[in-house]
A and B are shown apart, each in its own frame.
Chain A
Amino acid sequence: MATTRMFVDQQLLLTIFLVVLLWSLYARLRKQDFFRWWAWAWTAFGGYLCFGALALYLAPAWTILRGSLILTALVCGFLQIPLLAFGASTLRGPIKPRQVWLRAGIWAALVASVLIFAAALAYRDRPMVSFALRTLPRTLALTASLFFCAWVFLQKWHRTGSVAAVITGGFCSLYAFDQMFYSSVYLSQLVSRVPVVSPVLLLSQPLFAIDLVAECGISVGIVLLLVEEYQRAEVALVKTDARAEAVAESNVALQAEITERNRMEEALRESEDRYRDLVEHSQDLLCTHDLAGKLLSCNPAPARVLGYEVAELLAISMRDIIAPEYREKFDEYLARMKTVGADKGQMAVITRTGERRIWDYDNTLRVEGVPFPIVRGMAHDITERAQAERELRASEERFRQLAENIHEVFYLRDVPSHRLLYVSLAYEQVWGRPCQSLYAAPESYLDAIHPEDREAAERSFASHVPFVHEYRIIRPDGSVRWILDRAFPVRNKKGQVYRLAGIAEDITERKRAEQALQESQATLARVTRIAAMGELTASIAHEINQPLAAVVANGSASLRWLAIQPPNLDEAREALTRVVGDANRASDVIARIRALLKKAPPPLEQLDANKEIREVLALTASELLKGGVTVQTELAADLPVVLGDRVQLQQVILNLVMNGIDAMSTIAGRPRDLLIKSVGSPEHVLIQVQDSGSGLDPEDAECIFEPFFTTKPQGIGMGLSISRSIVEAHGGRLWATPGSLHGAIFQFTLPRADSSHERAA
């Protein structure tokens, strides 16, 4: 018993040393979980020994005190086992996941100690068995725990080559074997009830020595572990110091560098801000894209124009926004970018709303400083400009087509300089001269005009008033063309004539057609007259033929009646009587026709001769123009009213005017003037038509009023004859006299409506 006490005491002392050592180490190295948990483990062991010793010294017999002490000792002893194992396991890695095992171990220890206490209490009458029962489970568990600890330490040695670990592990093994030996002793005690090894041996000095050696070894190992930890920390500290110094040195440089960099960054940021602002607010397209036609960046304004967000635009292929007919061109553009590295031109794009926009681009390729080639794209929207250009071109084209395809010659002249500003292409066709020659020599315009018409044309051109003028031109091949020139002056803001615009039309064909028409009209008139005569004749013939046929038939019949043997005189007489009647009837017909053809008196109304003259002039305006005749009128303002047939009176004036035009048609070298006068007198109204034509042969002066007398190739010679009979029917007179210089004067009188002048029936 003394040996046991001594052993317990020694072990208690050693354990206390270990506990103090471990706790002090833990206090130094708060972070080292291993030391904490092992401190707790050995504290528990100390408690076990402590309470065991107390039970041994204070209560050798089973009392409540002894029971309590033994139970407490058992709890402490069993708690050591999981704490040891847990402490060792902290060396293998983080403890968090293992804490659940610690909790389970503690619970197991508590349960085991209560159960074992119960067993030991049951066998309290047999102290050896009771002791073995309460010690064996602990020693077995401790053996296992120590083997685990030894394995962990040997692993650490294997991992780090730590000598302390191998020492601790070794002594743990030794301690485990020691405990295994104890276990076998207690087991044999329980199984055979006779101890295999005598208690003497059990308590012999060598076993204690092994115990002590093992515990001391463990202690040394722990200390060594601590030393190793210290050394490692020391090395780390030295290294840190050296680094800190280096850092301090470099800090100074760094500080300077940072300052410089901040400055640069600031500058860069400002510059970048400027550029970004420029790009962001540019209305032009500024973009980058790769050689596959994928947009990499793009500024917002053109994206807005396209109807996309920038992000959306970057997500779709550029090809999709290119107008379909430009896609092939776009592919060619990409190919050119790849080979040439730069390209410019125009491209049409389609916005999201389907609108077409035209962009003028000028792009270059960036190869250096980028992982893959990037196209720098700049494009300017020229849709409106292109549209305007197109419209202008179309307008010009329209005008050009109009001017060049119309057969009329358009021209525009500058008045002060007489320069020709424009002449349409038709000039070459009509004049038979190149336009260029006219541009070079604008005066050649007049040269081409027929000498007879030139003077008048020149006057018209110089007149600065709108004019319509007909003249002939002579083409280089000698052929003559009729031209109708309609010109109008163009005035500037001050009202000065500065340009002359005109249209010259080739009316040769029209002239020819007019002439042909006149001829055919004359022919038609003759034919109509003949037809009318034929009609009249037929009518008269029918009227006469009826009685004539009856006369012939009755005559024949009477001859036949007389020829019969014997002659039938009665029938013959009757027939002859009818012959007389029919012949009389034929005579009546002729008398009736004569009566029918007698002139009926014209219906009379009050007329203003001036008004009739003006109307006739209006009717003959085109004839006058064609004949190049200038008309002057001297109409008396207070002309008395005359009585007459309007149509017939107009017919007379018309005849005289037409005669005048015809008389002047062959005149050259002097103006073709027609003067119409009206004069009132108390008796009558006198109307004069004076021409400047070829004049009147005095011998013809009366002949001209005879029917069928004519000096004109197309005339039938009825005009003046009819006119005279009309005038005479109105109670007036028509006569002709030669003009003072040249030409002739035709004049007629009409009685005033208020005069009592007798009219011819």
Chain B
Amino acid sequence: MSEPHSIVFVIDDDASIRDALRSLIRSVGLRVELFGSVQQFLQQKRPEVPSCLVLDIRLPGTGGLDFQRQLADANIHIPIIFITGHGDIPMSVRAMKAGAVEFLTKPFRDQDLLDAIQFALERDHVRRLQEAEIATLRERFESLTPREREVLALVVSGRPNKQIAAEIGTSETTAKVHRGQLMRKMGADSLADLVRMAEKIGIPTTKS
């Protein structure tokens, strides 16, 4: 049901909880890595596989909620499942708003946690695929000449060839050549495909 190489990271300062969680998560065949503190987690090199984080809210040093924000600031998009000894509503609202997958109050039902982990890993997997695609597209976009990029921007914003030629100051034929070239380089089968790609890498697709 899940990727065999997925990893669940657990950060909790309570060793007994850590041990219990490791046993529980391993029992469903997932890889588990345990950390006593945020610092330990940050020091560890994380493999590029779908992963999620089971995070205790009350942690020594940096608290769980603060750490969540730190990760977001550092552009680390790992899905987080919060567990807490005594959760209150404002705290859970804050956590969910900041993008947490689940907020579980101890003692929690084992199935709730495992479902949340499953959901988080799926989400991370999708996110990783998307990121990979965007990276490929960016690579392709980088291979374009400056003139082709210019034409690309005009094409995706819906300009006909004639207008593109007029705007970049060349003949229509030349514009068509550029267009064909960039379609090929970007690996786009159609204009709609190209527009979708442009949206993904953040090129404006409406007339400006």
Max count, chain A CB within 10 A of own CB: residue among B16, B58, B108: B16
| B188: interface (CB < 8 Å) | no
Asked if A542 is at the interface (CB within 8 A of a chain B CB), the reply is yes
Complex CA distance for A538 and B58, rounded to whole angstroms: 13
Chain B neighbourhood of A581, CB < 8 A? 16
Interface assignment of B106: CB less than 8 Å from any CB of chain A = yes
**Contact assessment for B23 and A557 in the assembled complex, using a CB-CB cutoff below 8 Å:** yes
Per the bound structure, the CA–CA distance linking A553 and B28 in Å amounts to 13
- Extra A-B contacts (6), CB below 8 Å, given A547-B16, A550-B20, A578-B20: A541-B85, A545-B107, A549-B85, A581-B16, A582-B16, A582-B20
User: For the complex, what is the distance from the CA of A581 to the CA of B28, rounded to whole Å?
Assistant: 23
Interface string of A545-567 (1 = CB under 8 A from B): 11111111110111011001000
Which residues of B are found within 8 Å of A560, using beta-carbon distances?
Answer: 24, 27-28, 110
Known interface pairs A546-B85, A578-B16. Does A552 touch B23 (Cβ–Cβ under 8 Å)?
A: no
Q: How far is the CA of A213 from the CA of B14 in the complex (A)?
A: 187
Complex contacts, B14 vs chain A, CB 8 Å: 546, 550
Nearest CB in chain B: distance from A369 CB, A: 108
Cβ-defined contact, B19 with A548, below 8 A? no
Point out which of B14, B20, B113 has the most chain A C-beta atoms below 10 A from its C-beta.
B20
**B window 101-116: CB within 8 A of A:** 106-110, 113
In the assembled complex, which residues on chain B have CB atoms less than 8 Å from the CB atom of A552? 20, 107-110
Q: Does A733 contact B (CB under 8 A)?
A: no
Number of interface residues of A (CB under 8 A): 27
Known contacts A546-B16, A582-B16; A553 and B24 CB within 8 A of each other: yes
Interface residues of A (CB under 8 A from B): 538, 541-542, 545-554, 556-558, 560-561, 564, 568, 571, 574-575, 578, 581-582, 585
Nearest-neighbour CB distance to chain A for B82, whole angstroms, equals 13
Distance in Å: Cβ of A584 to nearest Cβ of chain B: 11
Q: Give chain B residues whose Cβ lies under 8 Å from the Cβ of A551.
A: 20, 107
- With A549-B17, A550-B16: A575-B106 Cβ-Cβ less than 8 Å: no
Interface residues of B (CB under 8 A from A): 14, 16-17, 19-21, 23-24, 26-28, 58, 83, 85-86, 106-110, 113
Q: Which residues of B contact A558 (CB under 8 A)?
A: 23
Residue of B nearest to A551 (CB): B107
- Cβ–Cβ < 8 Å partners of A548 in chain B: 106-107
**Chain A contacts of B23 at CB under 8 A?**
553-554, 557-558, 561, 571, 574-575, 578
A residues in contact with B86, CB < 8 Å: 538, 541-542, 545
**Which of B17, B24, B85 is within 8 Å of A556, CB to CB?**
B24
Give, as a whole number of angstroms, the nearest-CB distance from A275 to chain B. 104
Could you pull out 8 A-B pairs where Cβ atoms are within 8 angstroms? A548-B107, A549-B106, A550-B20, A553-B110, A554-B19, A556-B24, A575-B23, A582-B16
Contact B110 A571 (CB under 8 A): no
Question: Which B residue sits closest to A548, measured CB to CB?
Answer: B107
Instruction: Give A558 to B26 CA distance when docked, in angstroms.
Output: 11
What are the 8 tightest A-B residue pairs by CB atom distance, in nearest-first order?
A556-B110, A549-B106, A553-B20, A560-B27, A557-B23, A552-B107, A557-B24, A542-B85
- How many angstroms from the CA of A551 to the CA of B85 in the assembled complex? 13
Closest Cβ neighbor of A546 among chain B residues: B14
Q: A541-B85, A549-B85 are in contact. Are A585 and B106 (CB under 8 A)?
A: no
With known contacts A552-B110, A553-B107, A557-B110, A546–B27 Cβ distance under 8 A: no
Do A553 and B17 touch (CB < 8 A)? yes
Cα A421 to Cα B58 with chains together (Å): 76
CA distance A541 to B86 in the complex (A): 7
Check B16–A545 contact: CB distance below 8 A.
no
In the docked arrangement, what's the CA distance between A556 and B83, Å?
16
C-alpha gap A582/B113 in the complex (Å): 20
| Nearest neighbor of B105 in chain A, beta-carbon distance | A545
| B residues near A550, Cβ cutoff 8 Å | 14, 16-17, 19-20
Residues of A contacting B17 in the complex (Cβ-Cβ under 8 angstroms): 546, 549-550, 553
Query: CB-CB < 8 A to A564: which residues of B?
Result: 27
Interfacial chain A residues near B85, Cβ < 8 Å: 541-542, 545-546, 549
Task: Report whether A549 and B27 are in contact in the complex, using a CB–CB cutoff of 8 Å.
Answer: no
Decide: B27 and A571 in contact? CB cutoff 8 A.
yes
Enumerate chain A residues within 8 angstroms of B109, measured Cβ to Cβ: 552, 556
Contacting residues, chain B, for A546 (C-beta < 8 A): 14, 16-17, 85, 106
